[in-house]
Amino acid sequence: MSSPTHPAIAEGNVAVITGGASGIGLATAERLARFGLRVCIADHDEEALKAAAESLAEAGEVIVQPTDVSSAASVDELASAVAERLGPVSLLMNNAGVGGGGDALSNPEGWQRVLGVNLFGVLHGVQRFVPDMVASDRPGLVINTGSKQGITQPPGDTAYNVSKSGIKSLTEGLAHTLLQQTEGRVTAHLLVPGFTYTGMIKRFVKEKPPSAWLPEQVVDFLFESLARGDFYILCPDNDVTREMDEKRILWNTYDMIENRPALSRWNPAFEAEFEAFMKG
């Protein structure tokens, strides 16, 4: 297994991964442990944490911490546990996420839950861990897990889209602040997975669809991208290519430039034009 080149990913360094008990978070934890990092995986699901700890027992030094990232106090407890048991953090992956918020006119409780976990969970992680990275003299790495839905805004779960749009904005601002304050010693990156067969999908689809990537494939792409210094880590999958993603993102951007109706990609009046654009 080849080693990645980001200086924060080094043997003996400490990594914290929220939403680390399954899916992309768990696959990242295993990879980092095998690279020799000491890893803490945080998750709200204590049964999943127990199973994750057992599955990673031979990978390396891994501890688990039950955490509700929507609670700043719970993230404070996570940080205290990591400091006591492992030491200063070099790598933070804010990966915890939920869906099912609803559209703009529905489910206020769902909105609170989705924004609390997806957006404020990332903010709590950033504000609790990253200032110490900045204050140290060590390389640091922050990975925030976004979504293509936060960029192209497909109709349906608007709450989820809003949360992931917020993560994109937060991570862009964080990356600029870190560049100003650390001149590249501490970096932030936005992970944008494609269709991935994670626990969120497994609840509805028992077998991996052919179009989906496995979490391990996302982690491969993540480390390849970090080695290049990429900020936007835009993952393909078995159905959607980089070119298709770029065209979809461009079309969405041009809704504003050309003053088209919101989400024109899904507007029947623009269906033929969008199809021609994708083929062109």
State the catalytic residues.
Answer: 160
Cα-flanking dihedrals φ and ψ of residue 236, to 5°?
-80, -175
Structure tokens at 70: 């929507």
Spatial distance between the Cα atoms of 138 and 90, rounded to a whole number of angstroms: 7
Which two tokens mark 198? 């994670």
Residues recorded for the chain: 280
C-beta neighbour count of 148 within 10 angstroms: 21
Integer Cα distance of 203 and 211 in angstroms: 17
SS (H, E, C) 92-114: EEECCCCCCCCCCCCCHHHHHHH
Q: In angstroms, how far is CA 145 from the centroid of its own chain?
A: 1
DSSP designation for 205: -
Of 245, 151, 145, 242, the closest CA to residue 200 belongs to 145
Which tokens hold the place of 217?
Answer: 């494939």
| Residue 203: C-alpha distances to residues 148, 238, 241, 269 (Å) | 21, 21, 26, 35
User: CA triplet 117, 118, 123: central angle to 5 degrees?
Assistant: 90
The owner of tokens 């839905």 is: 149
| Sheet-wide strand order for 14-18 | 62-66, 38-43, 14-18, 91-94, 140-145, 186-192, 232-234
